[in-house]
Amino acid sequence: MQVIKKIDELREILKPYRKEGKTIGLIPTMGFLHKGHASLIKKAVEHNDIVVVSDFVNPIQFGPNEDLEAYPRDIEADSKLCEEIGADFIFNPDPSEMYHDKKAFVDIEGLSDNLCGAKRPGHFRGVCTVCTKLFNIVGPDRAYFGQKDAQQLAIIKKLVLDLNIPVEIIPVPIVREDDGLAMSSRNTYLNKEERKAALCLSKAIFEGKKMAADGYEVDRVLDKMTEIIKAESLAKIDYISAVNLETIEDVKTFNQDTLVALAVYIGKTKLIDNFIYRV
């Protein structure tokens, strides 16, 4: 397993594999890898001959008051995890390698106007830009994204469709801790009390999913989820919404594939979670 810092070096290394007809899987990450990332890597190893994990904290998807400098990084631990699972390469460029003084951006309309996109202007422009660059650099046959970031997943699917990028996007289910909390690099920000309080997210998700399956309407489901979150004194709701899974537009009934998503601050840490209701 090799860590590569330069774009040209990675391209040259991958050329012979591509000529031999070997398949390449890509897992775009911001590093500080956990079991959720591990599930993406395992899936990629199962599906492909060569697996590349990008390990890059992308500065252009952070807003002015967000946690770019504080975002956790540990390339040594990331390398160990990738090697144990069977990844072949980690792409760990410096920001100056990925971006120059004058930047070209890739943006998407509509799908980024709701949920996290509404709260973080420019965030998904940064995501679309870096993913487009990674697709161009690596040239993967398949790319793997976690369902926890469901809006991002919908946007990336639309991106590759509209820009005719020849990569198959593979969604991978949410991985949870034993107590139900969705795995996230930001969980490390939580102190002991906040970590316990954060369980209100998964509690709300599990109850909402059960109610939707039992035939309750959207408003009743969202009201109950809101009630559960508000019962936790350390929690502050950013949003709790039900949207069309593909268009990310608000819905009032469960008569289409629906994403029910929430974002909640536990102390100063913003966490997200979701479930999908399918017709």
* CATH number of the domain encompassing residue 71: 3.40.50.620
Average pLDDT of the residues in 9-23: 97
CA distance 110 to 250: 12
Is residue 179 in a domain?
Answer: no
Dihedral class, residue 173 (left if φ above 0, else alpha if ψ from -120 to 50, else beta):
beta
CA distance 223 to 236: 15
Given the residues 37, 47, 100, 123, select the one marked as catalytic.
37
Is residue 279 in a domain?
Answer: no
Q: What is the pLDDT of residue 36?
A: 95
Dihedral sign, Cα of residue 192, residue 82, residue 153, residue 203: negative
pLDDT at 134 over 80: yes
Instruction: Assign 273 a pLDDT band (cuts: 50, 70, 90).
Output: very high
One domain, residues 81 and 136: yes
Is residue 247 in a domain?
Answer: yes
Domain boundary among 142, 172, 202: 172
Q: 52: exposed, middle or buried (C-beta count within 10 Å: 0-12, 13-18, 19+)?
A: buried
Domain boundary among 150, 172, 194: 172
58-92: per-residue pLDDT in tens?
999 998 878 788 899 999 999 999 999 999 999 99
One domain, residues 146 and 224: no
Is residue 157 in a domain?
Answer: yes
One domain, residues 167 and 218: no
Torsion on CA atoms 243, 247, 253, 256, rounded to nearest 10: -120
Average pLDDT of the residues in 85-104: 93
pLDDT at 103 over 90: no
Q: What is the pLDDT of residue 237?
A: 98
CA distance 278 to 171: 15
Which is more confidently placed, 20 or 102? 20
The tokens describing 213, both together, are 């399956």
One domain, residues 83 and 150: yes
CA distance 190 to 117: 24
Strand partners, 146: 172
204-231: per-residue pLDDT in tens?
999 999 999 999 999 999 999 999 999 9
Domain count, the chain: 2
pLDDT at 102 over 80: no
Domain boundary among 139, 172, 205: 172
Domain that holds residue 239: 185-272
Strand partners, 250: 243
37 annotated active-site: yes
Q: What is the pLDDT of residue 260?
A: 98
